Amino acid sequence: MFKRKNIVLKGLLSNYKEFLNKEVNVCGWIDTFRTQQKNGIAFISLNDGSCITSLQVIINPESEDDLNNFDNIYQRATKGVCINAFGKIIESPANGQDIELVCKSLKIYGDVDGSIYPIPKNKLKLEHIRQFPHLRVRTKTLAAISRIRNACSNATHEFFQSHDFKYVHTPILTGNDCEGAGETFNISNTLGSDKELFFGKPTNLTVSGQLHGETYACGLSNIYTFGPTFRAEDSHTTRHLAEFWMIEPEMCFIDFKDLIDISEDYLKHCINYCLQNNKEELDFFNKHYDSSLLESLISIVNKPFSRMKYSEVIQYINNDISEGKAIIRNPNIENKKFKKIAKGKHIFEGPIDTENGLLPLNYDLDSEHEKYMTSKLNGVVVITDFPKDIKSFYMKVNEDNCSVQAMDILVPNIGELIGGSMREENFDILDKKMKDKGIEIPWYLDLRKFGSAPHGGFGLGFERLIMLMTGIYNIRDIIPYPRYPKHCSM
């Protein structure tokens, strides 16, 4: 049976009373190293990545221990050096820490040349350390992001498994593009000298696991996927990547209200999980990146989500424009004159209905409109019943024949986090819609031909969830190895 030879710092620090006056091995990387000039006592701040807090390791050259047991640490110690320290855990006389380790022997696993180490002691901007994706996890910020990411992964599986969802692995290579979910990366490999397509037909990396997920839902009732997706869009915003992770549950035998309710429950479960298990990380982000983070997360958990129809959102924004609280930038007005007109108003960058200066109807909301609504309503907003003309073919049309049973969940500072809908389960209706749009996916129609069932689902961009949990709003810092236009290092 596996048993660790070293103690993980998170367990040691959180249950320190169990280890008082006991001898332990600890391993990790040196964060800081300093010595007292008067007596040569050395202080190592050691961290192994399991938590934010470091353990202080004390080396006393005047102790009975042989200095040869310390692997020449006085000459070799610098930030980033990897060590194994053995010694006794005692109560610390210093403020701000419960315990420290009085070291009896120390071994260096990996040296560092401090003159060229790219992660120095001083605080660096996230944009700078993005140049070193293989090393940036050694910073407090990226390590904390990684632990939050791990926690949200655990919370995801815990939530869906507790509701009897089956975890399904949908394909990364696919012959469809989920019809409009995004531009695709095409697979161009060929076979033999005649250059025959590897799969015999055009193939691409998946932009969504939804369609394949539906096939399994229509046999297992409730499933969820959790995997990478790819979109070849030339986007350089702080919210988009070419490779990112999606969580996509599909449920049979539900209605539209059920879909919205379980989406809300899932999001609140993830936040609650982190509030209970990652308080140290959340306090860190609240202190260093977003001073309103904890307040916002607690509010999301405790308040019901606001729910508005798409038409009500358009009316809300246009009312604010009519009342002079907001204005849409008019490209036909000279910039200096427009600034004078717009003074004291919220400015939307577009689009504009030139006849009355209002947001046009049947317009797919931009992130600026989404963020505006969450700020005005001070929390999470669920927008429902979008015009059918701006949504996908598979969404179930309402009785008004103008809108669909679709919803977007918007969160503060980010905008859309979750998008979902009830799927059209009627064969004749879906067949006509697909023919009208020139879409051919015979196997997808088969789900409606053979034992069709009412069903719906949603998709959540996992990196955006981590943005919400950390208050760090550049998605390139949320994923270990960001891929975006002209950037695919390692």
Least confident of 15-24, 52-61, 177-186, 462-471: 177-186
pTM for the whole structure: 0.94
User: pLDDT tens digit string along 347-373?
Assistant: 998 776 656 778 888 888 899 999 999
Amino acid at 441: I
Q: Residue 60 carries which DSSP code?
A: -
Query: Is the Cβ–Cβ distance between 34 and 23 less than 8 Å?
Result: no
Topology of domain 9-117, CATH? OB fold (Dihydrolipoamide Acetyltransferase, E2P) (2.40.50)
- Return the pLDDT at 64: 74
Cα–Cα dist 460/457, whole Å: 10
- Return the pLDDT at 178: 60
Pick from 330, 329, 415: nearest CA to 372 = 415
For the residues 224-250, what does the mean pLDDT come to? Answer: 94
Least confident of 60-74, 157-171, 224-238: 60-74
Pick from 448, 445, 380, 384: nearest CA to 414 = 380
Q: Output 315-319 pairs: Cβ under 8 A, ≥24 positions apart.
A: 316/373, 316/376, 317/348, 317/359, 317/369, 317/372, 317/373, 318/358, 318/359
At 261, is the secondary structure helix, strand, or coil? helix
Least confident of 225-229, 276-280, 331-335, 411-415: 331-335
- Return the pLDDT at 35: 94
Whole-Å CA distances, 236 to 140, 415, 485: 26, 16, 7
Cα–Cα dist 235/148, whole Å: 26
pLDDT band at 46 (very low <50, low <70, confident <90, very high): very high
For the residues 390-419, what does the mean pLDDT come to? Answer: 96
For the residues 52-73, what does the mean pLDDT come to? Answer: 87
- Return the pLDDT at 352: 67
Task: Record the tokens describing residue 296, joined without a space.
Answer: 């916002």
- Return the pLDDT at 362: 83
- Return the pLDDT at 179: 55
- Return the pLDDT at 12: 96
Q: What is the number of other CB atoms lying within 10 angstroms of the CB of residue 261? A: 13
Q: Output 447-451 pairs: Cβ under 8 A, ≥24 positions apart.
A: 447/214, 447/215, 447/218, 448/424, 451/218
- Return the pLDDT at 338: 87
- Return the pLDDT at 182: 61
Cα–Cα dist 224/165, whole Å: 6
User: pLDDT tens digit string along 378-402?
Assistant: 999 999 999 999 999 999 999 999 9
Least confident of 76-90, 118-132, 238-252: 118-132
Percent of the chain whose pLDDT exceeds 70: 98
- Return the pLDDT at 85: 96
Instruction: For residue 405, report the phi and psi dihedrals to the nearest 5 degrees.
Output: -80, 70
Query: Is the Cβ–Cβ distance between 490 and 295 less than 8 Å?
Result: no
- Return the pLDDT at 364: 86
Topology of domain 138-305+379-477, CATH? BirA Bifunctional Protein; domain 2 (3.30.930)
For the residues 475-481, what does the mean pLDDT come to? Answer: 96
Answer whether residue 180 shows pLDDT above 70: no
Q: What is the number of other CB atoms lying within 10 angstroms of the CB of residue 358? A: 17
- Return the pLDDT at 195: 83
Cα–Cα dist 462/338, whole Å: 39
Cα–Cα dist 154/359, whole Å: 41
3-state helix, strand, coil in the chain (%, to 5): 35, 25, 40
Cα–Cα dist 57/86, whole Å: 9
Answer whether residue 436 shows pLDDT above 90: yes
Domain boundaries, the chain: 9-117, 138-305+379-477
Cα–Cα dist 398/256, whole Å: 11
pLDDT mean across residues, the chain:
93
- Return the pLDDT at 142: 97
User: pLDDT tens digit string along 130-179?
Assistant: 999 999 999 999 999 999 999 999 999 999 999 999 999 999 999 876 65
